[in-house]
Copies of this chain bind each other. A is one copy, B any other.
Amino acid sequence: MKITILGCYAATPRTITNPTSQVLEIKNQMFLIDCGEGTQVQLRKHKIKFSRINRIFISHLHGDHFFGLIGLISTFSLLNRENDLHVYGPKGIKEIILLQLKYSNSYTGYNLYFHELEDKESVLVYEDDNVTVHTIPLKHRVYTNGYLFKEKNTQRKLNIDAVAEYKIEKCYFQKIKNGSDLTLEDGSVISNNELTFNPDEEKSYAFCSDTIFDESIVPIIDKVSILYHESTFLESEAHLATKTMHATAKQAATIAKQAVVGTLIMGHYSTRYGNIELFKEEASTIFTNIILADDGKQFEF
């Protein structure tokens, strides 16, 4: 699992910082999460192939989380994209994008599917053989969802030594990984337990931005491997966090602690702070395993 932070600052894009967007690579798929203005340039800068992005998840319709979407969709067209593109986001996102494509007389040459969200409970929005994606209902000034990505590791891992000892041919490997016992030519049966180990631990990633401090998300993100939780402010500006429906560094850490997550990634910093280390300092009093997001950083788990 790899996370590339394309932008992690609140409000307006600046020469040195970018609004929210990140790429989650999980089980060889790339998911784009949020798409602030300038995201397509950030994708180019970090050499992420446009053609590998087939699903885009938008948390909410504030500009710093989606103003780059129409540009990216248009650029996909100019690059003669052929793959389907799926966009998940709040109701309204389809109307906004289609209106602009209508006036520019430039409907996409590829299939563009919108999955508009209105649910107030966590729902499954995407599933394939390798991953599930659920919404995480968040509380912000407009309808907002975080997203919970979970690996599905249904396949057992081959015990290479055992397989070699029994001289089992490659054509049986998939069957064994699926959990089957193996019957040899002499009729004897080798138990699957002898040939495999348990699957890798299923990693998970929860993206929670933007939101107030809201303990009701804790059961949904319980024990996730990685939690990205917004921390727009420090406690010294807690009144602004309340007013603008954002969270402080301490509050982000409190959620991480309550949900017993593996690692907390902090981001969505207000641009009023010159030194983001202050966020880590404040949060470290509550929770220890903390990483600070910053534009261009990549994290592998």
Q: Which of B44, B45, B63 contacts A74 (CB 8 A)?
A: B63
Query: Which B residues lie within 8 Å of A106 (CB)?
Result: 62-63
Within the assembled complex, what's the spacing in Å between the Cα atoms of A103 and B70?
15
- Determine how close the nearest CB of chain B comes to the CB of A11; give it in whole angstroms: 5
Q: Which residue of B lies closest to A13 (CB)?
A: B41
Contact A141 B105 (CB under 8 A): yes
Q: Within A237-279, which residues are at the interface with B (CB < 8 Å)?
A: none
Within the assembled complex, what's the spacing in Å between the Cα atoms of A104 and B41?
24
Contact A92 B103 (CB under 8 A): yes
Interface flag for A75 (CB, 8 Å): yes
Contact A63 B104 (CB under 8 A): yes
> Given A96-B99, A96-B100, A99-B95, A37–B105 Cβ distance below 8 Å?
no
Contact A15 B37 (CB under 8 A): no
Within the assembled complex, what's the spacing in Å between the Cα atoms of A37 and B95?
20
> Given A15-B41, A38-B38, A78-B12, A142–B67 Cβ distance below 8 Å?
no
- Determine how close the nearest CB of chain B comes to the CB of A45; give it in whole angstroms: 5
Interface flag for A61 (CB, 8 Å): yes
- Determine how close the nearest CB of chain B comes to the CB of A92; give it in whole angstroms: 4
Contact A12 B75 (CB under 8 A): yes
Q: Which residue of B lies closest to A12 (CB)?
A: B75
Query: Which B residues lie within 8 Å of A12 (CB)?
Result: 40, 71, 74-75, 78-79
Q: Which residue of B lies closest to A74 (CB)?
A: B63
Interface flag for A14 (CB, 8 Å): yes
Within the assembled complex, what's the spacing in Å between the Cα atoms of A63 and B93?
17
Interface flag for A137 (CB, 8 Å): no
Q: Within A188-214, which residues are at the interface with B (CB < 8 Å)?
A: none
- Determine how close the nearest CB of chain B comes to the CB of A138; give it in whole angstroms: 15
Within the assembled complex, what's the spacing in Å between the Cα atoms of A105 and B245?
14
Interface flag for A146 (CB, 8 Å): no
Q: Within A1-49, which residues are at the interface with B (CB < 8 Å)?
A: 11-15, 37-38, 40-41, 44-45
- Determine how close the nearest CB of chain B comes to the CB of A87; give it in whole angstroms: 14
Within the assembled complex, what's the spacing in Å between the Cα atoms of A9 and B105?
20
Query: Which B residues lie within 8 Å of A61 (CB)?
Result: 100, 103-104
Interface string of A80-94 (1 = CB under 8 A from B): 000000000010110
User: Other CB < 8 Å A-B pairs besides A61-B103, A103-B142, 14 of them?
Assistant: A12-B71, A13-B41, A13-B71, A14-B41, A14-B44, A37-B37, A37-B38, A67-B70, A67-B74, A92-B103, A96-B99, A96-B103, A99-B99, A104-B142
